[in-house]
């Protein structure tokens, strides 16, 4: 596919590679580039370690830059960890103390790309450089070759300027990928070219993404993905779920390489996406729930509807009659299954999640336990079900992981204000900046000053406002203290 953004011929190979290194990686098992990775690189690359680290730090800081709260001033501002920084010194200190791992990981990624590109470059002879073989492409050229031609579109069409509404895409594709770092560089370049924001996780087991932008940009993105040889045999247009939104739904673009494309906390080599449950279309899933809900005594039946999402997702919307685990992260799901295994013994399990991705490996884990009669999963997740059955058996809103928080397909409100108990399903972040909890507090209670997730945070917020300290980053509140990490369900 031709590109309108090929690097200039005078650009060095190093420059070309670093153009596509704007990554924001967050991974727990990081390789510290200051020891093992740095030692493996040859002397020439070692000299560039300091430069790569500075570039990684600068990239991370740049991703946190936001518009000034007051349009009267043009100074730079930064937002990170629910805090606003008005000067470079404070944001630099914050990143250095709170995000060292992310910067280390990004440094490692830059160095790996640079090392691979230089190695490939050195393998060419002078003659090869003048007339490279048709089937040979350096990593930077390969990336450019798979960027679309955008010359027929104006910048306004791509960046969603004007009155036209944009959209958000949600998709995933499980397939074996040999070089996730190359795909990471390509996806970064592609999204930057199309002015897309969002989050994309890449691993040897596939890709998982949610991106927002103009409709022109998102349609181009889908076309590129469907035509890419790596994905065209696995992805189809129906695999992309769309909703109203745009680039403003995400604060930035994050593209990274991880071990898993959805963090279940178990290596894909131990629990593979290749052994999932039986996929049911939205129509088939609807009929199964209809049959279950028509039974007089559902508790004595042999079928369980299992919500694979986190508690704050199922709190504002869920299928009728479901079992919704009170867990905070999907990485707790395997432990939840282990602790409550008897509930699933000799049962038919109907699993569902937002878009289907968590069910792929969640169902594989449950099947591996060998206790269920059958394990099914909703193909396309709640997203696809609500497209067909907006007034079906799913009641309430659909939680989404972006700044919209939720999508409404029906008028049902299944949650309540955490202070007065009035029907309410509009999440806000806890007003205590160091807390990351979502809170349901109605307009009336907000007017009375109840804007935190709990009384502890409400009190803490007042104290921190008078003088925040460095240790205040740790989240400690009633919400986390009173919730068991892995709940034990009651069963007959």
Catalytic residue ranges:
353
C-alpha 21/C-alpha 103 separation (Å) is 12
Sign of the alpha-carbon dihedral angle for 43, 8, 229, 211: positive
Q: How many helices (H) and strands (E) does the chain have?
A: 20, 18
What is the three-class DSSP state of 213? strand
Q: In the chain, how long is the greatest CA-to-CA distance?
A: 80
Three-state secondary structure string covering 290-311: HHHHCCCCHHHCCEEEEECCCH
What tokens does 135 get? Answer: 């089937």
- At 32, phi and psi to the nearest 5? -75, 115
Contact status, residue 276 vs residue 362, Cβ threshold 8 Å: no
C-alpha 290/C-alpha 455 separation (Å) is 41
The CA–CA distances, whole Å, from 71 to 38, 65, 76 equal 44, 15, 11
- At 111, phi and psi to the nearest 5? -65, -40
Give the contacts of 43 (CB within 8 A, at least 6 positions apart): none
- At 379, phi and psi to the nearest 5? -70, 125
What is the three-class DSSP state of 264? coil
Contact status, residue 175 vs residue 232, Cβ threshold 8 Å: no
C-alpha 160/C-alpha 128 separation (Å) is 43
C-alpha 32/C-alpha 191 separation (Å) is 28
What is the three-class DSSP state of 57? helix
Contact status, residue 351 vs residue 360, Cβ threshold 8 Å: no
Which DSSP state fits 64?
T
Which DSSP state fits 6?
P
- The CA R_g of the chain, rounded to the nearest whole Å, is 24
Report the candidate in 178, 5, 31, 205 with the shortest Cα–Cα distance to residue 106.
31
């Amino acid at each position: 596919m031709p590109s309108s953004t090929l690097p200039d011929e005078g650009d060095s190979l190093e420059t070309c590679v670093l153009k596509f290194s704007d990554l924001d990686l967050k991974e727990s098992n990081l390789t510290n580039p200051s020891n093992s990775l740095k030692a493996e690189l040859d002397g020439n690359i070692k000299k560039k370690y300091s430069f790569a680290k500075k570039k990684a730090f600068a990239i991370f800081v740049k991703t946190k830059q936001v518009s000034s709260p007051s349009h009267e001033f043009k100074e730079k501002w930064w937002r990170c960890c629910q805090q606003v920084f008005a000067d470079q010194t404070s944001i630099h200190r914050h990143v250095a103390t709170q995000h060292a791992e992310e910067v280390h990981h990004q440094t490692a990624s830059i160095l790996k790309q640079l090392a691979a590109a230089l190695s490939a470059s050195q393998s060419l002879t002078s003659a090869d450089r003048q007339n490279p073989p048709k089937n040979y492409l350096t990593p930077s050229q390969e990336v450019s070759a798979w960027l679309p031609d955008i010359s027929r579109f104006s910048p306004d069409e791509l960046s969603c300027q004007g009155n036209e509404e944009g959209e958000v895409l949600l998709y995933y594709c499980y397939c074996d990928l040999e070089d996730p770092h190359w795909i990471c560089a390509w996806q970064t370049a592609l999204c930057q070219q199309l002015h897309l924001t969002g989050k994309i996780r890449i691993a040897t087991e596939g890709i998982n993404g949610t991106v927002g932008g103009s409709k022109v940009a998102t349609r181009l993105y889908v076309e590129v993905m469907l035509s890419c040889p790596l994905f065209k045999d696995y992805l189809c247009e129906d695999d992309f779920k769309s909703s109203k939104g745009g680039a403003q739904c995400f604060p930035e673009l994050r593209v990274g390489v991880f071990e898993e494309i959805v963090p279940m906390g178990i290596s894909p080599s131990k629990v593979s996406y290749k052994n999932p449950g039986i996929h049911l279309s939205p129509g088939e899933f609807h009929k199964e729930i209809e049959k279950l809900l028509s039974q007089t005594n559902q508790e004595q039946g042999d079928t369980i509807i299992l919500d694979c999402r986190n508690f704050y997702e199922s709190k504002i919307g869920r299928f009728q009659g479901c079992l919704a685990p009170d867990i905070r992260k999907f990485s707790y799901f395997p432990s939840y299954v282990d602790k409550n295994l008897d509930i699933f013994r000799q049962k038919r399990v109907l699993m569902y999640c937002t878009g289907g991705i968590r069910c792929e490996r969640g169902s594989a884990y449950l099947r591996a336990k060998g206790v269920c009669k059958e394990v099914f999963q909703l193909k396309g997740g709640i997203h696809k079900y609500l497209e067909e059955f907006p007034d079906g058996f799913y009641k309430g809103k659909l939680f989404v992981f972006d700044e919209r928080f939720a999508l409404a397909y029906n008028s049902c409100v299944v949650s309540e204000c955490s202070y007065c108990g009035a029907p309410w399903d509009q999440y806000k972040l806890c007003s205590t900046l160091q807390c990351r909890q979502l809170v349901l507090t109605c307009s009336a209670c907000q007017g009375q000053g109840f804007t935190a997730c709990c009384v502890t945070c409400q009190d803490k917020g007042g104290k921190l406002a008078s003088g925040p300290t460095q240790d205040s980053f740790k989240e400690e509140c009633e919400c986390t203290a009173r919730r068991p990490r892995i709940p034990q369900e009651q069963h007959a």
